[in-house]
Structure 1
Amino acid sequence: MSQSKCILKCKLVLLFSLLFWIISLNPSNAQNINAEQLIKASINYHDPELNWKTFKDTLIVEMTTPNQTPRVSKVHINNLNNDFYLKVEKDGNNFSYNIASNKCDMTLNGNSNFNESDAKKFNLNCDRGNMLKNYYTYLYGMPMKILDPGAIISNKVERKSFHGKDYLVIIVSYSPEVGSDIWFFYFNPKNYALEAYQFFKSDDNGKIITDTGEYILFEGETIINDIKLPKIRKWYYNKNNQYLGTDTLTN
């Protein structure tokens, strides 16, 4: 074989190898991805520096709901020490939870001494404080927290159209000690961004109860601690698509 033909053949082999490598990385081939790969790709999009585990920052969340005055929540999350602080302001009142070192402290309008009637009126108790801690750290910690202990992740990735957009979808259930809800996570097939999630209650056999739960659609992003978080989340009932409210990160 002449030297020129050998060089040409080598160039063609190199070209086809390069094309194969590019195609293999193309998100359009996402039908070949499994759930673990999809989650890790999404984490790489949202939290490329893996900062969530040591996240220590404050989120300012404004919640608007139909026929209600806005509610503003100051949410401080310290994942390194597992500490949590929440202050909520609404209708001229404010209450707070401070959960640190396995202790729970509460205040109402700046006063830690409030009566039982006010505690009931504002639903102030440490069980609710811990529930709110789990709520904020779970949902704003997505997709990173999908891999938490107790998660049972279906390996199959589905393609699904959901409210006018195409998504890659994974289904996650949980061991009994963690919870009984079944979650669907919706990822952009081009960049693997998490753009919606949805949950249903389940029956005693672990089957979805279809007229339960809610779905949440995202709009925009806010970067905090180098993590891309959903700026706007809109909440709806699964059973009838009734709009429930919107929370907005105002940081």
Structure 2
Amino acid sequence: MKLLFTLLFFCYAFNGISQNITTTQLLDNAIEYHNPNGDWHSFNNEFTVVMTTPNSPKRTSKITINLPDEYFSVKATKDTVTTTYTVNKGKCLMQYNGKAIDSITAKEKKMSCDRATLYKNYYTYLYGLPMKLKDPGTNLNDKIEKKTFKGKDYLVLKVTYDEAVGSDMWYFYFNPKTYAMEVYQFFKTDKNGKEKPDTGEYILLSEEAVVNGIKMPKVRAWYYNKDDKYLGTDTLVQE
């Protein structure tokens, strides 16, 4: 009887949370958890991410993000090759094995300023979550979903983006007790904006590292949605 009461209480509490909180409040609570001191907009720090993938050498990326000065840099080493992309107040600089290169050499090495901007947006977005969900062009669904994923219960926030920002459909999974972000998932959409269920990936977040006052996921493991195939893991390393 005691066990039954405990289970009923948990279900009631979980239902109550999901029914009484708005999507904006859920996001604000998640931001309060990950960015308790409001440090994201003044973020100025560096960290290292080690990517491991099946049947491939690891890639070590040293990332520098300075939001106030509009500066971003990623120095990535894989095997014997090191590439560096820097975006400084919109100006792109590239290096190959420590030497600055021009546009012709960059093209030969399959490097480009478009790729530099892509890396800047990619790393700033993923390591700036959930704060980045406050950015213009981000559309929060007005309903919070309850989902059980990999045996755990979550409050799930569905997010779409203005056409100029992106076409993927994203889901962010938050711990119903702490509001920590523990999973995110995205799907491609068709020309009508409808979700394509056999596309996209989900990312499991585990452990935490505090960088510049921000609680970031230390480990991110990537999988395909369609078949749960493992793709790789990013591990944040602080030096």
Query: TM-score scaled by structure 1?
Result: 0.86
Instruction: Indicate whether 1:183 and 2:170 are aligned.
Output: yes
SS at match of 1:189: coil
1:199 has 2:186 as partner: yes
Corresponding position of 1:71 = 59
From 94, 118, 129, the counterpart of 1:142: 129
**Alignment correspondent of 2:98:** 110
CA contact (8 A) 1:195 1:217 kept: yes
1:239 to 222, 226, 239: 226
Say which SS state the counterpart of residue 185 (structure 1) adopts: strand
Q: Are 2:64 and 1:100 equivalent residues in the alignment? A: no
Cα shift at 1:114: 6.1
Amino acid in the other structure paired with 1:70? K
- Report SS of the residue matched to 1:69: strand
1:50 is matched with 38
Return the letter of the residue paired with 2:221.
Answer: K
Structure 1 position 29, deviation (Å):
3.4
- Does residue 83 (structure 1) correspond to residue 71 (structure 2)? The answer is yes
Please give the secondary structure, in 1, of the residue aligned with 2:231: strand
Residue 109 of structure 2 corresponds to residue 158 of structure 1: no
SS at match of 2:195: coil
Give 1:213's match in structure 2, choosing from 173, 197, 200.
Answer: 200
Q: What do residues 21-57 of structure 1 show as CA deviations (whole Å, max 9, x unaligned)?
A: xxxxx87731211110000000001101110111000
* Aligned-partner Cα distance in 2 for 1:47–1:80: 17
Q: Distance in 2 between matches of 1:34 and 1:162?
A: 21
SS of the residue corresponding to residue 100 of structure 2 reads: coil
Q: CA RMSD in A?
A: 1.5
CA contact (8 A) 2:103 2:112 kept: no
Distance of 1:28 and 1:204 partners within structure 2: 35
- Secondary structure of 1:149's match? coil
Deviation at 1:113, TM superposition (A): 2.8
The answer as to whether partners of 1:28 and 1:190 remain within 8 angstroms in 2 is: no
Describe the superposition over 1:190-235 as per-residue Cα deviations: whole angstroms up to 9, x where unpaired: 1000001001111111101111111100110001111100000000
The one-letter amino acid paired with 2:131 is M
Closer/same/farther in 2, CA of residues 61 and 156 from structure 1, 3 Å limit: same
1:76, distance to aligned residue in structure 2 (A): 0.3
SS in 2 for 1:70: strand
The answer to whether the Cα contact below 8 Å between 1:28 and 1:189 also exists between their aligned partners in 2 is no
With normalisation by structure 2, the TM-score equals 0.90
Alpha-carbon distance change, 27 to 50 in structure 1, aligned in 2, over 3 angstroms: farther
Distance 2:97 2:148 in 1: 46
- Rounded Cα–Cα distance in structure 2 between residues aligned with 1:55 and 1:118: 30
Higher strand proportion: 2
Q: Could you tell me how far apart the structure 1 residues matched to 2:17 and 2:129 are? A: 20
CA distance in 2: counterparts of 1:70 and 1:246, whole angstroms: 10
Structure 1: which 5+ residue stretches go unaligned? 1-25
Distance 1:124 1:164, change over 3 A: same
Q: 1:250 to 1:207 in 2, by over 3 A?
A: same
SS at match of 1:206: coil
Identity, in percent, stands at: 49
* SS of alignment partner, residue 119 of structure 2: helix
- SS for the counterpart of 1:136 is helix
Distance 2:196 2:14 in 1: 33
What does the per-residue CA deviation read over 1:176-198, in whole Å, with 9 as the maximum and x for residues that have no partner?
A: 11110110000000100000100
CA contact (8 A) 2:54 2:231 kept: yes
